Structures are given as C-alpha cells and as structure tokens.
Amino acid sequence: IQPLTQELPRYSYLVATIPLLPKADQPMGQQLLASSEAELGLYSEAVRDFPLRSRLPPDLVPPKAADWQAVDAVDAIVTLARDHRIVMVNEAHHDAHTRELTLALLPRLRAMGFTYFAAEALDERDASLMKRGYPVSQSGSEYLHEPLYGDIVREAIKLGFVIVPYDADGTPQEREDGEAKNLYERVFARNPEAKLFVHAGYAHIDKQRGRLGPVKPMAMQLSKLSGITPLSVDQTDIRAENPRRSE
C-alpha cells in the first residue's frame, strides 16, 4: 500500500486484499484498514474492524463500585501534572477517540508552564512546521491525515508550544531507545528545567517492562536519561470497544 498515498485508494485496496491474505497476516491488514477508516472519518467502523481487547494484569483486584469516585479526566490529570515535568498520553492509532484527551489538555498544560509538545507522528525533516502553523503531507506519518491529529498539532503551535518530532527506526528496542534519546537531546539537554507534554502510541509511555515483553519502553528509557519520572496516562488498555454503542 506504500504507493497509495490517498486514504480512499488505500482503504479500497485493503478491503479487497485482506480476505486473500494468509490468516497470520490478516491482523496486520485489519489494523491498517482500521487506520485508513479513521483517516476517512469512519470512526466507529475503525474500532469495529480492529477490536483491541483490554489486557488487564491477571492479579488485578479492581475497587468495588462504592470505592469509585467519578471526576473530570482533564481536571484530574492537570492536578497530578503539577508535580511532574513530563506528561505522557497515549493513543490507539486507529481510534481517534483517544486523541480527544490530548487536544483538551493542551491549553491547560500550556497555562501550567509546559512549553514543549512532542508528537510521535511528526517527521523531523519538516523544518517549516512551526512557521507554517499546520502539518502537510510531508510532515510525518499518515496519522496526521486524521482530522483530530491535525487539530492537535495546529492547536499546539497556536498555543506557543515548541514542537518536537521524536520517532526513531530500528528494532523494537532500538526504536524505544532512539525515541528516548531524541526527546532527551531535543528538550532536556537544551533546557534542563523544561516541561514536556508527549503524545505517543500504546506502550511507549510505559515506565516499566510488560506490554512490550523484554523491550524497555521509551518512557522508562527517558526517565533513566533525564532523571525525571513521567506522569503516564494510558487510554489503550481500558477503553470503549464500541463507541457508537456508548453514545
């Protein structure tokens, strides 16, 4: 699908091709299809076609109903962020609902003195991004084609954040190490007192091994490099599996 740079041709190709793939390759095809659907605004269809299941720890004992207290998520995170200099929020790449929280947090964290915003989807080669004020097709991955992700980047620039691309290539561990190194060198090595807001995918925000098996996640590695413990907010292991049903 690499030569197919537009969402609709990519979507049409995947719909026709996934049934022909070997069974072992179909989950990857379904994930790519769901991402294409999200980029086309087919949000509920994306969640339906790649239904991630929550993977809670087997020894987890959840609180009883009487022990729960409902609070506004943005207010609660902002309160916790007062004691942190790194805040990380993750997303499920095919589920644009998980981008709403970052969009809501941007102005609140900016008002608290957070000045750097890092987004996994951005490419460091787009040197004109901040001056231009919005991403274009050369700014990074296809995730930016989805309207909410584009809004996140535009809002961060409008609010005066310094935008930090940080993704890396390589093996799973090389990628985690490279992401952490990029964030450290592009933020804290230049400004040791900086406050950083990171929007990442899935387990990159984890502060210990687990979801990535033996791989040490980016947040764990960044904490080691910087000496700063992040506030990590996970949205991918416990999330609505059918947003349309919950509306």
Task: Return per-residue pLDDT of the chain as tens, 247 residues.
Answer: 878 878 899 999 999 999 999 999 999 999 999 999 999 999 989 988 888 776 777 888 888 889 988 899 999 999 999 999 999 999 999 999 999 999 999 999 999 999 999 999 999 999 999 999 999 988 999 899 899 999 999 999 999 999 999 999 999 999 999 999 999 999 999 999 999 999 999 999 999 998 889 999 999 999 999 999 999 999 998 776 555 554 4
Q: Which of 149, 60, 75, 235 is nearest to 243 (CA)?
A: 235
Predicted TM-score of the model (pTM): 0.90
Assigned token pair, 60:
């987890």
Q: Which of 216, 207, 184, 10 is nearest to 90 (CA)?
A: 207
**Three-class SS of 139-164:** CECHHHHCHHHHHHHHHHHHCCCEEE
Per-residue buried b or exposed e for 124-138, using 16+ beta carbons within 10 Å of the residue's own CB: eebeebeeeeebeee
Q: Count the neighbouring beta carbons within 10 Å of the beta carbon of residue 78.
A: 17
Note the pLDDT tens digit of each residue in 216-244: 999 999 999 999 999 999 999 877 655 55
CA distance to 4, 89, 115, 207, 241, per residue, from 156 (Å):
29, 14, 10, 25, 28
* Amino acid identity, position 25: D
Q: Token pair 């740079």 is at which residue?
A: 5
Query: What's the rounded Cα separation, in Å, for the pair 24 and 47?
Result: 20
Query: What's the rounded Cα separation, in Å, for the pair 151 and 133?
Result: 11
Burial of 215 (0-12, 13-18, 19+ CB in 10 A): buried
